[in-house]
Amino acid sequence: MDGSSPSPSSASSPASSSSVDADGLGELFWTVARELRHRTRDALTPWQITPAQFRALSVLIREEPQRITELAEHLRIAPRSATEVVDHLERSGLVERRPDAADRRATLVGLTGKGRAAGDDLREARQAEAGRFFGSLSEEDRQALAEILRKLVPAGDQAVKRG
């Protein structure tokens, strides 16, 4: 034995014998995800809100108020980045910071009335764009795609797996 190991490309595996290799599948997935992200961004433009800001609003709609650190965990971003998202949403009048009654040193972030209403409008716009994007697929294809994607969702994201 010479101590060398086969390279990933030379190793025999079930994935390498399939008609679509993992790299090609990954590229195809990222191309579709990028297109959906661009369409979503464009659908949110009238509200002058980014997809990241929309995601923060969505989290707060489901569960508010929250500390910025909790919001950052939900969004899977650094607390500093979450602070920037909240700053923009606060300047837009969509969220407000409130003192945490349980810990005077902490601050909570919650929706304003304007934020709650905008969240509903934004969700409708995003859903409409997703409907147009996936509209070329048959109902059967959409169901199959949803089933496949749910299998790939990490175990901790149960809300995504159910919806």
The model carries a pTM of 0.70
| Helix, strand counts (H, E) of the chain | 7, 3
Task: Give the pLDDT confidence score for residue 3 in this predicted structure.
Answer: 45
Q: What is the pLDDT of residues 75-96, one digit of tens each?
A: 999 999 999 999 999 999 999 9
Task: Give the pLDDT confidence score for residue 14 in this predicted structure.
Answer: 45
**Where do the structural domains in the chain lie, given as residue ranges?**
49-155
Q: What is the mean pLDDT of residues 128-145?
A: 94
Q: What is the mean pLDDT of residues 116-137?
A: 92
Q: How much of the chain, in percent, has pLDDT values that exceed 90?
A: 62
Quick one: 89 exposed, middle or buried, by C-beta within 10 A (0-12, 13-18, 19+)? buried
* CB crowding 92-127: b at 16 or more within 10 Å, else e: bebbbeeeeeeeeeeebbebeeebbebbeebeebbe
CATH number of 49-155: 1.10.10.10
